[in-house]
Structure 1
């Protein structure tokens, strides 16, 4: 069996140094294509996929040094894999963080962050306007471990301030929110967190670093469901956490122990997805803007929620802290659940699925799917009504999407 000798290891270290120096002041598009790539002595142009569970050492002493940490390198693919490392380093570069940890899903990214950085007795302040499963994680499962959460209105800074206690260690939010596209003032909430000595954790799934970089606005940690726009084609499930190395080392320690690990195959898919991230996000934004404006003109539509509309209360804030307004929008049709379901069932091109960030446009009824596990009171507080429909606008011809939404309107 061929082994990488010390000469080959030196070659890899040299290549990494050369690449890092070249990318020091590189733009986002260059980082999305080049960051984290490390060619082996074989000289492959595309990123290699390391499909291995474990790694072979030259000797018992070499194995001991690797396991002890004295010799950095791969030990076991539950927590170190070269393909996963490509993805982690690329995401850290794109978000402007020191380090990143990849996980098996977006929810695993949030769980790993909380388990690594919180303990029993700690308090979290979380926006009500989060993904339904995120709400359940904080309210039900972390609560069982003695980590208590207070839910607040995303856009109300006084609400965030009033919820703080001496035990508050983390503030958590997503912006824009799912599904009403509400906007959080990241700089202002960061100031609240820092005065408290708490961490601000931001779910940047809707924007991605192509449109928003929360760390540059004062956040401490960014989490993603890589399943969404980072992949962009609905192929794999994964997550990632980005932040300071000290914190990410703690997150990695939890992932190493508990095992919510990203596979090498999924990491390879995500790495390739990142290469077209900005191009895709620009296209998503343009089509979502066109559909939002079109929906506003339809008499059967009661209200449209999209930050790209000047009528949206967060429009000015979004224009200030984002590079674009995103590919997700929601709207209310006149009527209740029956009308919303009729609209959804009347479409033919949109896929009826709860996923988002896909090249294929999707449509869903949040009250009975993504936020279906919330109590009626929690739905009401979060603005999740029975006539609300969410769209994730894909990469199809926008005129075809308009025609499909017209089919939905005709079904009412």
Structure 2
């Protein structure tokens, strides 16, 4: 997909800072301002409004249909992914839902990673099939299984890489090859990776999804989502933003845009810390297994080196006596927060029991359950390594585990 992105020849950090952040035309302010208006005065009564051209709008009407601050965020995200266009949403789930409802109709078929963000997994287990859409869950590390799942009515293959919560990878380019042969599209939830690690559009993917609440915002203070792709597809998808109303607040858009300016620097620090913490955990007597793409012990380490320019800050690990350790973490952690979510400046950890997530969120075959357990055992700790000093993170883990 060719782009008209003027930042494509510039570095990632330059793009993160300057894309969508041109000085304000009215005030000449160096930093982008927040336009919190819900509606806008129109001076030319004949000015047409077209949702298809909203990313190029200069005259705005109503923030559900377009807003200058949201537009700036969308330009920045498209530039970071080296794509033509972006549609921002009020949450990552709003972005995922809109893409599914845009692409899929009754009697269509979608192939989806058998392990995915729980909100997406539950959507594809419940609401989507109830609309007459067939969903096949596949271990997308098994390319033969993906190929065998393709049907004449397959319209989409949806993957996560690395996937939530077990940090398993999928070979993006191989999935694209399978989809192209079948006449299907590919969407990738790249929240764990971020554009710093992977630019799926450059590998032939049609749509990239991000939960902006995570690494892109980076500070745990705003919720948002995005779908990124070709100008034509995003223009058509934008109707769902307008008509379903899943819009992002301009204030949240501004916070996320501000967070993105330090994304490459933060991701380097997240990676450095995660590697130190992962090595520490591998040596800990109560840790049974560590899953991190930057470790040679990761079963897809070679793919990680090939596909990721940054290994991110997400670690999954198994321990002996996990429930006791989870209780100790909840009671005794000081530097690390025992909380859900990820990608914040502070470290976040949470225990994910295998039986519970299999029963509530994932509907897997016996073989898929066994594959999941090969990563997670009876349960894993999903650990989003933050930007604190690595030594303090390791000390906090060690002292808390000792109290379990």
What TM-score comes out, normalization by structure 1 length? 0.90
Alignment of 1:27 with 2:11, yes or no, is yes
Alignment of 1:249 with 2:249, yes or no, is no
Per the alignment, residue 390 of structure 1 pairs with 382
Secondary structure of 1:66's aligned partner: coil
The alpha-carbon deviation at position 148 of structure 1 amounts to: 1.8
Secondary structure of 2:228's aligned partner: strand
Structure 2, gaps ≥5 residues long? none
Task: Report if aligned partners of 1:138, 1:148 keep a CA contact under 8 Å in 2.
Answer: no
Per the alignment, residue 361 of structure 2 pairs with 374
Q: Deviations over 1:35-90 (max 9, x none)?
A: 1124222111110111111111114333xx23698994322100210000000011
2:41 to 56, 73, 92: 56
Q: 1:121–1:309: structure 2 CA closer, same or farther, 3 Å change rule?
A: same
Per the alignment, residue 10 of structure 1 pairs with none
The alpha-carbon deviation at position 336 of structure 1 amounts to: 4.6
CA distance in 2, matches of 1:410, 1:376: 36
Alignment of 1:406 with 2:383, yes or no, is no
Segments ≥4 residues shifted beyond 4 Å: 67-72, 368-372, 375-379
CA distance in 1, matches of 2:338, 2:188: 28
Where do residues 4-403 of structure 1 align in structure 2 (5 Å cutoff)?
Answer: 23=7, 25-38=9-22, 39-62=24-47, 65-66=48-49, 72=57, 73-367=59-353, 373-374=360-361, 380-381=369-370, 382-383=372-373, 384-403=376-395
Q: 1:370–1:231: structure 2 CA closer, same or farther, 3 Å change rule?
A: farther
Secondary structure of 1:90's aligned partner: helix
Once the two structures are overlaid, the 10-residue window that deviates more, 99-108 or 329-338, is 329-338
CA distance in 2, matches of 1:385, 1:351: 23
Total equivalences in the alignment: 391
CA distance in 1, matches of 2:334, 2:172: 38
Q: Deviations over 1:270-327 (max 9, x none)?
A: 1111100000000000000001111111111111111111011111111111111110
Task: Report if aligned partners of 2:208, 2:227 keep a CA contact under 8 Å in 1.
Answer: yes
CA distance in 2, matches of 1:338, 1:168: 45
The alpha-carbon deviation at position 163 of structure 1 amounts to: 0.9
Task: Report if aligned partners of 2:137, 2:364 keep a CA contact under 8 Å in 1.
Answer: no
Task: Report if aligned partners of 1:35, 1:93 keep a CA contact under 8 Å in 2.
Answer: yes
Q: 1:34–1:372: structure 2 CA closer, same or farther, 3 Å change rule?
A: farther
Secondary structure of 1:61's aligned partner: coil
The alpha-carbon deviation at position 408 of structure 1 amounts to: 2.7
Secondary structure of 2:360's aligned partner: coil
The alpha-carbon deviation at position 375 of structure 1 amounts to: 5.5
Q: 1:226–1:372: structure 2 CA closer, same or farther, 3 Å change rule?
A: farther
The alpha-carbon deviation at position 100 of structure 1 amounts to: 0.3
Task: Report if aligned partners of 1:102, 1:238 keep a CA contact under 8 Å in 2.
Answer: yes
CA-based RMSD: 2.2
Task: Report if aligned partners of 2:51, 2:238 keep a CA contact under 8 Å in 1.
Answer: no
Q: Deviations over 1:178-224 (max 9, x none)?
A: 12211111111110011111111000101110111111112111000
Q: Deviations over 1:358-404 (max 9, x none)?
A: 00100101238877722686793533444311110000111110001
Per the alignment, residue 4 of structure 1 pairs with none
What TM-score comes out, normalization by structure 2 length? 0.92
Once the two structures are overlaid, the 10-residue window that deviates more, 87-96 or 343-352, is 343-352
